[in-house]
């Protein structure tokens, strides 16, 4: 991995500083590099580590970190704090789907229909909601002494190349979007460029869904037939490519090189994570043994496939708002930890909820041969899972056997505890943000991530 999320974590994971925390555990080193551990020492380490040694200095450090996070969480959970995150940015979210459909407009009728297919069903829109909340929350934070020029709505809709060159014989000759009078340039706490960033994140996410559904042979999405089932694999792949192309054009028009670099890296991360997912372990052994490296491999893959988009878009939102470096880093840390918590809960729900609840097939991970967190935690307790992991649950009865073993273990509980830990870290990252409804909304998002049932 080439950007801060992966490279710093992996690089720090090999440093002496991280090794002093628990020299035999890659996951410890990985986590210490990202943020100070919290409940993980108490709730996970007893089950993750082979060794029962406890270093007094380590215990003291963990206690300090735990108290810091606990105070933030306690403050966030005080009576009457419950904020509806959607209400905080309701005006901006109101136009989200409409603007996305305008971004996807094509003069080719078939492409237009397929590209907009996943915008017809009501999605959760988690990623743009987080971007908008982060934009509003960081508006009150300290600014960089060398601010970038603020982009107006007209500016982000203006092409960089000559219009006649871009149009050429392209069937999509219309402007990418139309001006929304209700969201004129006068709104200063969420800039036009930040609103556009929210739309771009949803475009990238939706493109990944189109591609993933082809790769996974999915039959449903958001309670409807998947695009690959409705239109065929070729059309679904091409529609996903078109979404990425449109996202790239909109991204370039933000005219911020670092933001372009961040979101372009997200697209590469999605592919890198998909390649990592082809293997359940780094060496892809036929008869693997459980190890801490297996769990850290899973977390790296999870970052690339899920947390990268959330973390880098949060960072991009702070950059577009000219926030200072400390705020930019805090925004990134929030998104990284929230993204990991979100995917851990998603993997847990695959074992605990029905297809009707999820809006997509339940138990799909095992059917696809994937070993996710609940199974990885169960595997340590039940070594017989190793053979099933090695052959990717291909034999008749493997899926049912693996599921039963996971449900007999405390793998789901350990997954939930680890997700709680990441959620707490996300909340702690916001500690220095000024009080605001948007900050409360971000805290509520982290808490609701753990509580969600679909």
Residue 42 located in a structural domain: no
Q: What is the CATH number of the domain that holds 349?
A: 1.10.600.10
Phi, psi of 44 (to 5 degrees): -100, -35
SS3 68: helix
Residue 285 located in a structural domain: yes
What is the total count of domains within the chain? 1
Asked if 172 and 106 touch (Cβ cutoff 8 Å), the reply is yes
Residue 442 located in a structural domain: yes
Residue 126 located in a structural domain: yes
SS3 221: strand
Residue 27 located in a structural domain: no
Residue 32 located in a structural domain: no
SS3 225: strand
Spatial CA neighbour of 314 closest among 342, 287, 288 = 342
The tokens 């969201």 sit on which residue?
A: 183
In angstroms, the CA 454 to CA 451 distance is 9
Residue 181 located in a structural domain: no
- Give the CA distances from residue 450 to residues 52, 124, 296, 357, 417, in Å, rounded to whole numbers and listed in that order: 29, 15, 21, 16, 9
pTM: 0.77
Token digits of residue 224? 């409807």
Range of the domain at 233: 83-145+152-172+186-451
The tokens 């720090």 sit on which residue?
A: 12
Asked if 271 and 204 touch (Cβ cutoff 8 Å), the reply is no
Would you write out the chain's pLDDT as a tens digit for each of its 454 residues? 333 333 333 333 333 333 334 333 444 444 444 444 444 444 444 333 333 333 443 344 334 334 433 443 444 444 344 667 878 888 888 888 888 888 888 888 899 899 999 888 766 789 999 999 999 999 999 998 877 766 666 678 777 877 767 766 665 545 455 445 445 444 578 999 999 999 999 999 999 999 999 999 999 887 889 999 999 999 999 999 999 999 999 999 999 999 999 999 999 999 999 999 999 999 898 889 999 999 999 999 999 999 999 999 999 999 999 999 999 999 999 999 999 999 999 999 999 886 566 555 557 899 999 999 999 999 999 999 999 999 999 999 999 999 999 999 999 999 999 999 999 999 999 999 999 999 999 999 999 999 887 7
**DSSP states of 294-355:** HHHHHHHHHIIIIIHHHHHHHHHHHHHTTB-HHHHHHHHHHHHHHHHHHHHHHHHHHHHS-H
Asked if 334 and 426 touch (Cβ cutoff 8 Å), the reply is yes
Residue 177 located in a structural domain: no
């Amino acid at each position: 991995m080439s950007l801060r999320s992966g490279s710093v974590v992996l690089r720090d994971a090999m440093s002496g500083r991280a090794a002093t925390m628990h020299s035999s555990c890659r996951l410890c080193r990985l986590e210490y590099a990202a943020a100070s551990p919290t409940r993980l020492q108490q709730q996970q380490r007893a089950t993750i580590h082979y060794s029962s040694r406890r270093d007094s200095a380590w215990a003291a450090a963990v206690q300090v970190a735990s108290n810091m996070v606990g105070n933030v969480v306690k403050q966030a959970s005080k009576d009457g704090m419950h904020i509806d995150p959607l209400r905080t940015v309701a005006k901006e979210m109101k136009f989200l789907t409409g603007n996305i459909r305008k971004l996807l407009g094509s003069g080719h009728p078939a492409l237009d229909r397929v590209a907009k297919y996943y915008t017809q069903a009501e999605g959760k829109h988690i990623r743009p909601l987080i971007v908008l909340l982060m934009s509003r929350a960081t508006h009150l934070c300290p600014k960089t002494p060398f601010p970038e020029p603020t982009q107006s709505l007209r500016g982000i809709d203006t092409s960089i190349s000559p219009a006649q060159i871009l149009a050429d014989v392209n069937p999509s000759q219309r402007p990418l979007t139309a001006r929304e009078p209700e969201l004129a340039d006068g709104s200063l706490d969420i800039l036009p460029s930040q609103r556009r960033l929210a739309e771009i994140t949803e475009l990238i996410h939706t493109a990944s869904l189109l591609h993933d559904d082809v790769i996974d042979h999915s039959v449903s999405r958001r309670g409807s037939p998947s695009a690959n089932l409705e239109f065929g694999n070729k059309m679904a792949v091409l529609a996903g490519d078109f979404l990425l192309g449109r996202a790239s054009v909109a991204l370039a028009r933000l005219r911020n090189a670092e933001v372009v670099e961040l979101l372009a890296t997200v697209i590469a991360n999605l592919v890198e994570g998909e390649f990592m997912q082809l293997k359940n372990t780094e060496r892809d052994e036929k008869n693997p043994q459980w190890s801490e490296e297996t769990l850290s491999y899973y977390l790296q893959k999870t970052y690339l496939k899920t947390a990268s988009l959330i973390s880098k878009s949060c960072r991009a939102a702070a950059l577009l708002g000219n926030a200072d470096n400390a705020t930019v880093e805090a925004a990134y840390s929030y998104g990284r930890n929230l993204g990991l918590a979100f995917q851990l809960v998603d993997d847990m729900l695959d074992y605990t909820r029905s297809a009707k609840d999820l809006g997509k097939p339940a138990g799909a991970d095992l059917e696809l041969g994937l070993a996710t967190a609940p199974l990885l935690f169960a595997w340590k307790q039940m070594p017989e899972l190793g053979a099933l992991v090695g052959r990717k649950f291909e034999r008749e009865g493997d899926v049912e056997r693996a599921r039963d073993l996971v449900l007999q273990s405390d793998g789901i509980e350990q997954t939930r505890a680890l997700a709680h830990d990441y959620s707490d870290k996300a909340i702690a990252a916001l500690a220095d943000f000024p009080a605001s409804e948007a900050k409360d909304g971000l805290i509520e998002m982290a808490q609701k991530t753990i509580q969600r049932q679909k």
